[in-house]
Structure 1
Amino acid sequence: MKIFIHLPTWLGDAVMASAALKLVFEYFTKLDKKTEFILHGSFVACKLFKECENTRIFIEDKKSRYLNFYKLTKILGRVDYAFSFRGAFSAKFMLFLLPSKHKFIFDKKRNKNAHQVLKYLEFIKNSLKLKEAVQDELFLPIKAYKDLNKNEQKKLCEHFKLDMNKKFLGINAGAKYGSAKRWNEEYFAKVALEFSKSHEILIFGVASEQELCDKIELLLQKNGIKALNLCAKTSIKELCELISSLDLFISNDSGAMHVAAVYKTPTIAVFGPTKFTQTSPWHNENARLVHLNLACMPCMKRVCPLKHHACMQELKPELVIKEAKSLLKE
């Protein structure tokens, strides 16, 4: 059998879809052990699942999206089932081009108030007409740091010049969705400074967040603290391994926060304009949410429409520090 899967675009959505993706893998592998899974999507989504068994990866090219996908359909030929974890017109059109008798497209309007993980699971359950309860744990094929052998751990630490004997605190100050989800970089630096005597500081981010990460690094330098700025320096695999190694992670509502949830990394998740009931760290008993309760929350906007960004500006670092210390004591 050949199963086509159109992955979510964003890192966080791809992670939250992982429980549903695992359900697809298990369902069709039980029917036919030789089932081939064709994964198509963004660079980050494809790299996240490239180590899954019996998979072929095709990274989409947005510059000539439809033409390239049409060419891909000619390479793939007919597939038995096709699933798209996206609901946009582009996803519908691409599945229209793909020869298959069974096509299913995610509808974001269904189960509107449910957590995103459950929305994706219900999509697959309904598509396959499954009535029984299913596993809802997140899943990634990338090993946690603790599950790497000693040589692999040593290689990772040597590559990034990390001291294996130290505790690590990670900071993720970016959020691809938009500036409204980003906590103040000076607040991140203040939290890192509080724990700098006991933890080595790691700063994570993507290339578009370089200025933001550099600013945090500079703020720490001014206070005599040397942080390891890993912005745009890790692969997806390395990002997962490093996040899984952290003793504490401070993050906005972001893809990296969801990666941390997979590995149960102790996390302080800072929420502002988004609905934490729908995108909180799934089943991470080591995560704590920090947020205010303002009348304008959650606005779900990429940029603060009121211009004051109070949901993040008024959320002071002392609140995060207090929650982090409480978490570390448990």
Structure 2
Amino acid sequence: MITFLDFEKPIAELEGKIRDLRKLSGGDGSMDLSDEVDRLQSKRDRLLGEAYAGLSPWQKTQVARHPERPHFSDIVAHLFTDFTPLAGDRSFGEDQALMGGLARFNGRSVLVMGNEKGTDTPSRIKHNFGMSRPEGYRKAVRLMDLADRFGLPVLTFVDTPGAYPGIGAEERGQSEAIAKSTERCLRLGVPVVATIVGEGGSGGAVALAAGNRVLMFEHAIYSVISPEGCASILWRTSDKAKDAATALKITAQDLVKLGVADGIIPEPLGGAHREPKRALDALGEAVQDALSEMDGIPADRLRQLRRDRFLAIGRL
């Protein structure tokens, strides 16, 4: 059963009625309610289309954070084969919030990594809700070094509220680790395709998203700070998060206009969490197209194109 968001209450009520009617007609067969079920389903689809056609930035934030959106583990299982996870930063330890390894994508060897939030309470605690510590970013650098050494394209999938802000993380050099990961992305001599699949929060997201191509799911968000964090700084209250979401221009549509993102991956009606397989199929096609565009480009040219891309951001 899908978890409904606040703005989906009318749709949730219709879904409840549809389930009740199906139960009534699915008993001994004495009641045929198929026409009524079809009518309600049509009404639900219409309301769903209307709701998602006009989502505000704050509503998109809610969709991007939906707990049932596809996670990194789902992406790997659906789009990749022969995935071999690699762990540890060879300095301090293993960070479960950032996962990665070698895999095959459409038969091609690649390095894949991304944030994992977890799907239930135990796994969310294990993966620290997708918020990496310094060892996670140092692991990312280690994996990118491997990719560069063996000429493997790097595919990253970003879904994090941001880097973990705990005391231990700061003591172990969180800022330096993020900066090193961002720098390594920019210096790679192989194609780098980054996709924001849910939340792209602050430097913790940029550390994996400084690619030749930056793609975003239709209802994903990407921002320098969370709406709540921005509101707390500017208005001294998180109650202004809706206003902050609008002011920050965090939606995929806004960011393509600004040149921060290169393309939008369409989601099924009602968001990727409603039909994750269809969403992941679209993701795979978009990543393949981005990779194909860079086939045969020499390493020095890839670095220069990546540099030019980021220097051009903000030029209107």
- TM-score, reference length from structure 1: 0.29
Structure with bigger helix share is: 2
